Structure 1
Amino acid sequence: MKKLIAFVAASLLATPAAAQGYPEGFTYGPVFENYGPVAEVELTEPLPADASFRHSFDIAAAAEPGEVSRQLESVARFINMHARAGVPVERIQVAVVVHGRAGLDLMHAEAYAARHDGAENANLPLIAALIEFGVPIYLCGQSAAGLGIANADLAPGVQMALSAMTAHALLQQRGYTVNPF
């Protein structure tokens, strides 16, 4: 009953996402009110009452200049979706490993603008929100070196890893699964 009440409350407080280009019925919340819209789903197999997640996301595709990365937004979606389904937020641990050209999306405003003809880095509020929630975001140091991204170019809170492979290996040693897409 407690989960049903929490679900109904979250559903009522959720913000419609259709205005942002998502299909009708997708809404934001309960954790991120501006990112990660999800749809209500009638499950044929309910989540276990003791469900918990230690999950990492691998991101390699860069967003279009000035746009929010759909892959980064999927991280917020994962958290919103499971929190809305009744998983306590303290049992949702997520990490992000970024490599390739997606590393450019992790740059602070000035460094990003310098690389994108003055465009605004629309990812910065999402990055800040994820980090505030406790999501570590790692940039592959090998990709950074190849792209000429220095630590000083990174958005606040983004961490430089030796490599994406190293970051994933260390996360797996800590019990994180890897998102397959």
Structure 2
Amino acid sequence: MLKLLTATMGAIALAVPAAAQDMSAFTTGPVLEQYGPVAPVESDMPIPEGAEFKVAFDVAAGAETGKLNRTLESAARFINMHARAGVPLEKINGAVVVHGKASEDLLGEQEYAKRRDGSENVNIALIGALTGKGVRVILCGQSAAAYGITNDLLAPGVEMALSAMTAHALLQQNGYTVNPF
């Protein structure tokens, strides 16, 4: 009887959905008005005056067709949250290094539509917003070769590197840290 009761309680626990996230406090801006929602936080870790950020994001996971790439959006969030926290925009430097399946998220409009049954690449506008604020969006040339992507097929503003490893090494030599998120 105890085994049956334990099994029943376990099944009920699995059937009850986890608490839903409350995203009502998240808003975009002040730098990227359409991207990168963040919430206000009472932080116990103040950002020192004069702090400068040089952050590289590594992206390998591609987005679902018609969806924003999560890591590209994270770069926008990073900029918005630090600008809100009082860091001057000229002290927030970002780069996004893309490889693997995420390479296709950097395709221009026509090539993306060709490869994705006519779908629109919503990442193009986000790429433009990021590069417009000085963020470098860099594609791994080795992944590009594997996916049949040449420079002329890329969305405006995307740079091609020899490899993602090369891009990260050069960025690190210029003081960038790799963001693990």
Determine if the TM-score, normalized by the shorter chain, exceeds 0.5: yes
Q: Which residue number corresponds to residue 24 of structure 1?
A: 24
State TM-score, norm by structure 2.
Answer: 0.87
1:51 aligns with 2:56: no
In the TM superposition, 1:1-181 aligns within 5 A as: 23-181=23-181
Q: Distance in 2 between matches of 1:99 and 1:60?
A: 5
Q: Deviations over 1:18-75 (max 9, x none)?
A: xxx9711001110001000000000112111111101100001111001111111000
Q: Over the residues paired in the alignment, what is the CA RMSD in angstroms?
A: 1.1
Q: Distance in 1 between matches of 2:160 and 2:104?
A: 13
Amino acid at match of 1:157: G
SS of equivalent to 2:96: strand
How many residue pairs get aligned? The number is: 161
Amino acid of the structure 2 residue aligned with 1:61: A
Task: Output the CA distance in 1 between the equivalents of 2:130 and 2:138.
Answer: 12
Distance 1:65 1:34 in 2: 19
Identity, % of aligned pairs? Answer: 63
Which residue number corresponds to residue 6 of structure 2? none
Cα distance in 1 for partners of 2:128, 2:34 equals 12
* Cα distance between partner residues in 1 of 2:156 and 2:44: 41
The code of the aligned residue for 1:158 comes to V
The 1:80–1:62 alpha-carbon spacing in structure 2 relative to 1, beyond 3 Å, is same
When Rg is computed on C-alpha atoms for both structures, the one with the higher figure is: 2
Large movers: runs of 4+ above 6 Å: none
Distance (whole Å) between structure 1 residues aligned to residue 152 and residue 44 of structure 2: 48
Output the CA distance in 1 between the equivalents of 2:97 and 2:22.
Answer: 25
Normalising by structure 1, what TM-score? 0.87
- Relative to structure 1, the CA distance from residue 22 to residue 147 in structure 2 (aligned partners, 3 Å threshold; closer, same or farther) is farther
AA paired with 1:90? E
Local SS of the residue matching 1:24: coil
1:143 and 1:114 map into 2 onto residues whose CA distance is 19
Query: What is the distance in 2 between the residues matched to 1:27 and 1:173?
Result: 34
| Distance in structure 1 (CA, Å) of the matches to 2:22 and 2:164 | 30
